Amino acid sequence: MIDLQQLHQHKEFFGFLAYQLSYPKKRTFHPQLLEGTVSPSSPAYEHVMKYWEKIHAYSLEELEELYVATFDFQKRATLYMTYVKFEDSKERGQMLARLKVLYEMFGLEIPNGELSDSLPLICEFIYAADWLGDPRADDSFKILLAVIEDGTFHLLNTLKEFNSPYAPLIQGLRATVKSCLKKGDPKHV
């Protein structure tokens, strides 16, 4: 079970993740973006600081090339969280539809052309939607966080294999989600 109150306390971090996992722009790495996002007591703090240090060793042009080479041209490093598990099967289509309905249920419309299992979109949803206190949130977030768990497990392993500067960011995401599991929950992220 997910502690939604705990997850809600990390909303700013999920907004940061959505921005960092989108195609790089000049503003993506501005120091003010990190301020107030993660505190030293956050489960993601150490990972995010490592990511922030690594990512600033690149120029914007190098980051754009790295982003495309990593997330667009490596099937195993996809930001589409259901792709590795389902590829283009009927089951994936069903999961994409479920995620789309979930977003719409909480007032978030998916931009045209965007697939509902995009990790930046999932993070944006957690950040922007008003889900705390909604009785539908418990069941909905079980599905959403299962998608995150499956997808980021494979993504992290691939990013580590490539020695990607994005690996610590995904580690921080997984550590944050894990911290939101209710005690006694056997599920590990």
Expressed as residue numbers, the domain containing 134 is 4-179
When pLDDT is cut at 50, 70 and 90, the band that residue 140 belongs to is: very high
pTM comes to 0.92
| CA dist., res. 135 & res. 131, Å (int) | 9
Q: What number of CA atoms fall less than 13 Å from residue 64's CA on the CB side?
A: 6
Residues 6+ apart with CB under 8 A from 147: 81, 82, 95, 99, 117, 122
In a domain, 54, yes or no: yes
Q: What is the tally of structural domains in the chain?
A: 1
Encode pLDDT of 69-102 as tens digits.
999 998 889 999 999 888 777 889 999 999 999 9
| CA dist., res. 86 & res. 105, Å (int) | 24
In a domain, 91, yes or no: yes
In a domain, 189, yes or no: no
In a domain, 175, yes or no: yes
In a domain, 38, yes or no: yes
Structure tokens at 49: 């600081």
In a domain, 188, yes or no: no
Mean pLDDT over the full length of the chain: 91
